[in-house]
Structure 1
Amino acid sequence: MVDLKSKVLRTVGLASFLRSFGYGTLWSFVILYLTTQVHLSLAFTGAYLLFSGLIGALMQVIFGAYSDYIGRKIFLGIGQLGQGISFIFVGVGMIFNFYLILLGILLQSIFSGMIFSMFNALIADVFTEEERFKSFGIQRALANFGWGIGPAIGGFIFEIHYFSISFILMGFMLSLVTILMINIPETAKRSMSMKLKDIPSALKNKKFLIYSIAGFISFLIFGQLNSTYPYYENQVNGIPVSIIGLTWTMNGLMVAALQYPFARLANKKNAHYFLIYGIILYGFGYFMVVLLPTIEWMFLSMVVITFGEIIYSSSATTTAMNLAPEGEKGRYSGTFGLFTSVGRAAGPFYGGLIFSISLNYEIKWLIILITAIISSFLYILIFIKK
């Protein structure tokens, strides 16, 4: 069993790193590309990302549930290959047809959700409740190392306008990662049967339902990192995209270095405190950007945002998986992924609506901070209040 655990963690960790490198290098800049190069409004761009995110999140629940029945490996392979194809569609669309970009974004939402829920389910399958805090911490640290390297390269690519060919090449690289999935063992403790009516069963768990709603609100806040945050710093404060990319690099490297140590501190008794303090700190980091329009202050705000992310993420996924009974890890992973994916997808739309209102920027960022505080109250409700 030790060998199985090591093999799963190595494979998931390496695949997460390569996946995040691809997304950090290019996908982080898609919203900026659509708003500054294609000249779509932030509200429209956010609305389409919300639409594609909803489709992807719905499919994620279905894939997660059926993986409990037919196994994880087939979804791992299809999901990884599909991610690569989605990048190729976006790159080709930048050259030939704008609508191919929209199709690529939709495919990315579907296949990214599939692969991410499988990663979570794999770790939940083979590690005990207490081991999951450290295991998810390692997986997330490796993923964020990819995020750390990617944006610095992506910001440079964005500035020199080699975006299309970079998407195509990255798509081929991500498709090749499918090879890693061939040797991964099947870990699902398969359900005896599966019907469509069984898929929403996780929502009957009241505590898990409230937890997922809190996750949705939290990920509304996370969704600002690649939408209103760079938009505000670039369009309002006039900071170059290449410099903004460096803040994302700092974010990824900080998480890569500190996620595992923080994950070692988390356990079943204190996990809710990580969620509460983490999301409040994350929201406050966004509010900081409106206080000073300087590059130095932008980096300081990202430090605060990153610590909020590290603290929150040290227990978020593990707690969700610990609420799932045996034989239903994929179903619960997919359902939690539904709420968080929709939250992240709705984040740009939510932020775009706030930014479209005729209010001072201080008020706009305050609304985002208040949203984070609402999420923290839900965590208090389900974990502290008896």
Structure 2
Amino acid sequence: MVADVVEPSKRLEAYGLLRIGQNVGWALGPVLGGIVSIWLPFSWLFLIGAVATATVSVLLWLYIEESLRQGQERSRFKVTDLGKVTHDSIFMFYCAVSVLLFMNFGQMSSTYAVYSTDTLGMTEAEVALLWSWNGIMVIFMQMPISRWISKYRMTTIISTGSMFYALGWGMVGLAGAFHLLSPWTFTFLFVNMTIVTMGEMFVSPASMNLVASISPENERGRYMGVFGLASSLGFSLGPFTAGLVLDNLAGQDILMWVTIGLFGVMAAIGYQFLGRILGKERDSSVSKA
């Protein structure tokens, strides 16, 4: 829908703004939930969440107009339509490479948190502070970064973000050197989180913008849906694969995290190859697609 209502030259910033809204909601949700739980039974939080979600659905239904232009071809969605998207080999290659990238995305709330507490001795509160720093960076830095990177090709932006992920996660293993110096351990993890969040701010808006650019105008929803499946697959495989790495490389912290960071390196190489296939016009952040 963003691609329908925002002109191509502003899409990257629009997706960045959407990302900020998601992070504000992610940050406020637990805070408000904690406040409400002081006065109401915990089970009521789920009821309030359901009512809030239903309210948003009603508001969208009543006040958000259809984004398709008048006269634009429409067709009733069928599950088999998703299969047609798989015939686009370039897009499917993009999805396959993105699985590797989103395997790195999935480390923050799983492997990173487990390693920080169980191996490095960080408290849950310290890990929560690191996550909060991630949200703060996105809220205040996403828009300036989105404007700055908009002059570059999408695959270049996503490749750079992938390398930020590879560097950030690959360095986590070095935190073990500060294990007996708790303040320095936290400082090192703080630097890691900063690097990883830079990758997130590069990748998140650019990856969605690229889907909008390379998909046919009347099939964007289907393409976004398939890309969403690919990203969810990466999110799921990331913790699972990293868990296997943790089990088999226990005690070899540097090798373990470098292995996890290699997902980002492989994704960056794949995106560079994709950029050569797409060409400059389709890969531009101001594509007319």
| 2:80 alignment partner AA | K
The alignment's TM-score, normalised by the length of structure 1, stands at 0.62
> If the length of structure 2 is used for normalisation, what is the TM-score?
0.81
Of 76, 87, 95, the residue aligned with 1:212 is 95
* Correspondence 1:178 to 2:57: yes
Which position in structure 2 is the counterpart of 1:317?
A: 208
Q: Matches of 1:156 and 1:301 in 2, distance apart?
A: 31
Is residue 246 of structure 2 the alignment partner of residue 355 of structure 1? yes
What CA deviation, in whole Å up to 9, does each residue of 1:8-61 have, x standing for no partner? xxxxxxxxxxxxxxxxxxxxxxxxxxxxxxxxxxxxxxxxxxxxxxxxxxxxxx
CA distance in 2, matches of 1:275, 1:248: 22
Q: Give how far 1:163 is off.
A: 7.2
How far the C-alpha of 1:128 sits from its partner, in A, is: 2.7
Q: Residue 135 of structure 1 corresponds to which residue in structure 2?
A: 14
Give the 3-state SS of the residue equivalent to 1:226 in structure 2. Answer: coil
Task: Kindly indicate whether structure 1 or structure 2 has the higher relative contact order, using CA contacts under 8 Å at least 6 residues apart.
Answer: 2
List per-residue Cα deviations over 1:296-342 (Å, max 9, x = no partner): 21111111111111122241110111111111011111011110111
Max Rg structure: 2
In the alignment, structure 1 residue 238 sits paired with structure 2 residue 115: no
Any stretches of 5+ residues in structure 1 without a counterpart?
A: 1-121
Q: CA deviation at 1:152?
A: 7.1
Moved more, 327-336 or 203-212: 203-212
Is the contact made by 1:123 and 1:132 (CA closer than 8 Å) also made in structure 2?
Answer: yes
Aligned pair count reads: 261
Contact 1:145-1:255 at 8 Å conserved across structures: no
Matching of residues 113-262 of structure 1 within 5 Å: 122-149=1-28, 166-167=45-46, 169-182=48-61, 183-188=63-68, 189=72, 191-262=74-145
CA contact (8 A) 1:147 1:253 kept: no
Q: Is the 8 A contact 2:170 2:259 kept in 1?
A: no
Post-superposition offset of 1:127: 2.0
SS at match of 1:191: coil
Counterpart CA distance in 2 for 1:374 and 1:350 is: 15
Paired letter, 1:324: S
Contact 1:271 1:319 in 2 (8 A): yes
Give the letter for the 2:15 counterpart: F
Identity of aligned residues (%): 29
Alignment of 1:1-386 (within 5 A): 122-149=1-28, 166-167=45-46, 169-182=48-61, 183-188=63-68, 189=72, 191-267=74-150, 269-292=152-175, 293=179, 294-359=185-250, 360-384=252-276
SS in 2 for 1:365: helix
Structure 1 position 275, deviation (Å): 0.6
CA distance in 2, matches of 1:365, 1:147: 27
* Counterpart residue type for residue 213 of structure 1: A
Matched position secondary structure for 1:317: helix
- 8 Å Cα contact 2:138-2:197 kept in structure 1: yes
> What amino acid does structure 2 have at the position aligned with 1:146?
G
Aligned counterparts of 1:288 and 1:146: Cα–Cα separation in 2: 30
Task: Classify 1:298/1:269 alpha carbon distance in 2 versus 1 (closer, same or farther; 3 Å).
Answer: closer
